[in-house]
Structure 1
Amino acid sequence: MTRAAVVFADGCEEIEGLSQVDVFRRLGVECDMVGLNKLEVNGDHNIKIICDKLVDESLLDYDMVSFPGGKPGAIHLRDSVKLNKLMNQRHAAGKWCAAMCAAPIALGKYGLLNQAEFTCYPGFEKEILAEAPEAKFSEAITVTDKKQKIVTSRGPATALAFSYALAEALGIDTDQLQEGMLYKQFKPQNS
């Protein structure tokens, strides 16, 4: 069975993280909500998020591990030594890693965006390119770098596009779900 994990930290952008969990679960993907260092996370807009578990070695077992943005949450993810080590192990094993909005700064600091094409919330590309000068920035809504196994996206308005891109990276057909959620009627043209 395909398994995914979304890692939440205080100050995360709630819509970005919960959209991923929602889409994965609608598609029948086992998706765990993982707290960076506590089970009850306070999102950037004071929405409490109750996680299923805490970051541990089991992150190595998931097919996809993804980070929502929100600047405070992204900084917590970026600065976690434990998460850095685990994500580097995942990347070395050829497993999918993903981040959206401000959270690609974590992947940049971890060294995972070297040689990768990526996108992020406007302005954060400067920090990322300082950490990963060989990375290639794109203004696309979502970017899936199949060679590096990295998926990135821009911000809150792109949360559903990102969520579908995550599932599609894992080989899951999202067409029927997009239709059922009325996404196709409002789908951005460059996603």
Structure 2
Amino acid sequence: MPKVLVPLAQGCEEMEAVTIIDLLRRAEIEVVTASLTDTPVTASRGTVLIADTALDAVVDQAFDMIVLPGGLPGATHLQEDDRIRDLLQRQQSEDRYSAAICAAPRVLAAAGLLEGKTATAYPGALVADDLPLTRLTDAPVEVDGKIVTGRGPGTAMDFALQLIEILQGRSKRDSVERDLVRAP
């Protein structure tokens, strides 16, 4: 069973965090949510999220994928956390997946993972202008090697389904998507 880390920072985008966690778990992927501190996480719209554990408890574990929810100031807190940078750089050196949505692709950029990649991110100037990319697109989801990026809250479901396809295959993605009763 694939194992995924979803770090939760104060001010994260709850729609992205919860959608990612929920859909990956529906696909029978082991999801570990980890807060940057030992306190509950208050997301960008005031929703309180309780992580499975603190980041320090899992920082030395191996994960098939690390997925960063966006939102501000959540993405800024992730970007400023040395443990997150080190985890992402380790993912890259071990040829494992890293994924980020909305404002969080800038965390990948700060860790040195986006240079020369095709990626997407939230269209606001605070994000797109800070990304030292070769190619920034308006696509809902981009996959470039072991890097997956998503555009924003409205694409969170497409983003999570793409992660399922990468980790569990097309048939598992189709099964999860069918049960969601999404409009064609």
Task: Give the TM-score, by structure 2 length.
Answer: 0.92
SS in 2 for 1:128: coil
**Greater mean deviation of Cα atoms: 59-68 or 1-10:** 59-68
- Residue of structure 2 in register with 1:172 after alignment: 169
- Residue of structure 2 in register with 1:126 after alignment: 129
- Residue of structure 1 in register with 2:114 after alignment: 113
User: Deviation of residue 176 (structure 1)?
Assistant: 1.4
Query: Residue 121 of structure 1 contacts residue 155 of structure 1 at CA under 8 Å; is this kept in 2?
Result: yes
Question: What is the CA–CA distance in structure 2 between the aligned matches of 1:178 and 1:21, rounded to whole Å?
Answer: 15
Question: What is the CA–CA distance in structure 1 between the aligned matches of 2:177 and 2:81, rounded to whole Å?
Answer: 34
- Residue of structure 2 in register with 1:7 after alignment: 7
SS in 1 for 2:161: helix
Equivalent residues, number? 179
Question: What is the CA–CA distance in structure 1 between the aligned matches of 2:25 and 2:168, rounded to whole Å?
Answer: 15
Aligned AA for 1:126?
Answer: D
SS in 1 for 2:73: helix
Identity of aligned residues (%): 32
Change beyond 3 A, Cα 1:14–1:61: same
SS in 2 for 1:61: coil
Which runs of 5 or more residues in structure 2 are unaligned?
Answer: none
- Residue of structure 2 in register with 1:33 after alignment: 33
Moved over 6 A (4+): none
The alignment's C-alpha RMSD in Å is 1.4
For 1:13-162, list aligned pairs within 5 A: 13-56=13-56, 58=59, 60-123=61-124, 124-129=127-132, 133=133, 135-146=134-145, 149-162=146-159
Aligned AA for 1:181?
Answer: L
Task: Give the TM-score, by structure 1 length.
Answer: 0.89
Aligned AA for 1:136?
Answer: R
**Greater mean deviation of Cα atoms: 168-177 or 120-129:** 168-177
Aligned AA for 2:176?
Answer: L
Question: What is the CA–CA distance in structure 2 between the aligned matches of 1:77 and 1:63, rounded to whole Å?
Answer: 19
Question: What is the CA–CA distance in structure 1 between the aligned matches of 2:116 and 2:83, rounded to whole Å?
Answer: 23
Query: Residue 60 of structure 1 contacts residue 86 of structure 1 at CA under 8 Å; is this kept in 2?
Result: no
User: Deviation of residue 64 (structure 1)?
Assistant: 0.9
String of CA shifts for 1:1-54, please: whole Å, max 9, x gaps: 211111110000001011011001111111111112234111011111000112
